[in-house]
Amino acid sequence: MPSDVRPPDGGPGTLGELGEFGLIARVAARLGAPPPPVGPGDDAAVVAAPDGALLATTDLLVEGVHFRTDWSTGHDVGCKAAAQNLADVTAMGGRPAALLVGLVAPAATPVAWLDGLADGLRDEAARGGCPVVGGDTVAGPVLMVSVTALGHPGPRPVLRSGARPGDAVVLLGSLGTSAAGLALLAGGVPAGLDAGIAARLLAAHRRPRPDYAAGPLLAAAGATALCDVSDGLVGDLGHLARAGGVAVVLDGMAALADAPWLADVAAAAHALGGGAAAAAQLVAAWVLAGGEEHSLVGAVPPAALPVVVAAGGRVLGRVAAATSSPGAPGVTVGPTALWSAADAAAAVRRPGWDHFA
């Protein structure tokens, strides 16, 4: 965080100077007028549920774990906090209805950072078509943002557990760009990497932009199971395989070959040096196990494929019956021109990550 936090207008520079009620008023002003009938400051917001039900999901972002203030602006963090929750709504086939936000912040937090956070939450919520309807702010030793997203379900919520053998496994969105961007932040952008590519990958990590139309589209097409890529492709499809009692066979990854984002990912892997073999390992790890991407993967009946492909979706593989052997992997990945079977196996062995280990 910048050390000189004095704003040019002479207003409060830190949260401690602004105070709790000053912060609430300032954030409420930036978030804009809430929907009637309830404004900020009441005990609870009222969220319309025209379908007779609401989707609800909650997530936490902690400074030093999920973001760094020297890598991401407050606006970045606000956008990302909103995006990862709204992606969960779309992963149920739903549309965003409302966000609630909790903020823990040290008294020394620059007000400008908090302004950015509020703006980012508002901007990404607006991109998803929903307002921020409530919140809470308290003091604490590190910055933490909790976001709860509410959503309007479609005619039926699309769960993780519904995939059936014979379904196609499809992807709407990118893979590995957030992980590649994180690697550039951690290791520095190599001199040989095109500046435009670097900027796209850094932005993908700092401000993922989920396609909020993708979930309702796949749900309407008859998707049997959906989830967003938050733990990594193989990790998230593993959840889907276990929940549905099926196996996922990713034997169509060659379908990604012409994806423009894959060219970005491959360029970054090569620019980091180490030769072709090392680059292939990086690409496999980023694409197969990179988290925080918030693209949508799911299982759809083959009859739905024309709709999915027309919407830009790619077929990555298929759902098969689970094998009866204990310990059999829920997800298997074939080799492609981009990585070897050994690279894929290594990436699959580290799906997702454990925050507490």
Contact positions with a second copy (CB under 8 A) in 54-83: 54-62, 64-66
Among the listed residues 164, 172, 173, the one whose alpha carbon sits nearest the alpha carbon of residue 301: 164
Contact window for a second copy (CB under 8 A) among 152-160, 206-214, 311-319, 343-351: 152-160
Judged by CB under 8 A, the chain residues 262 through 281 that form the site for a second copy are none
Among 101, 112, 246, 319, binds a second copy (CB under 8 A): 101
Among 4, 43, 70, 258, binds a second copy (CB under 8 A): 43
- Largest separation between any pair of C-alpha atoms in the chain: 69
User: Rounded to whole angstroms, how far apart are CA atoms 252 and 165?
Assistant: 16
Among the listed residues 203, 167, 212, the one whose alpha carbon sits nearest the alpha carbon of residue 185: 203
Element spanning 299, H or E: strand 296-300
Q: Which residues pair with 96 in a beta bridge?
A: 151
Cβ nearer to a second copy, comparing 120 with 210: 210
Residues in the chain: 357
Judged by CB under 8 A, the chain residues 15 through 34 that form the site for a second copy are 15-16, 18-21, 23
Q: Is 13 in the site for a second copy (CB under 8 A)?
A: no
Nearest-approach distance from CB 329 to a second copy, in angstroms: 16
Cβ nearer to a second copy, comparing 17 with 194: 17
Q: Which residues contact 322 (CB under 8 A, 6 or more apart)?
A: 241, 245, 246, 247, 328, 330
Among 46, 255, 259, 271, binds a second copy (CB under 8 A): 46
Among 5, 25, 28, 159, binds a second copy (CB under 8 A): 159
Pairing of strands 168-172, 296-300: antiparallel
Among 137, 185, 211, 301, binds a second copy (CB under 8 A): 137
User: Rounded to whole angstroms, how far apart are CA atoms 105 and 98?
Assistant: 23
> What number of chain residues touch a second copy (CB under 8 A)?
77
Q: Is 243 in the site for a second copy (CB under 8 A)?
A: yes
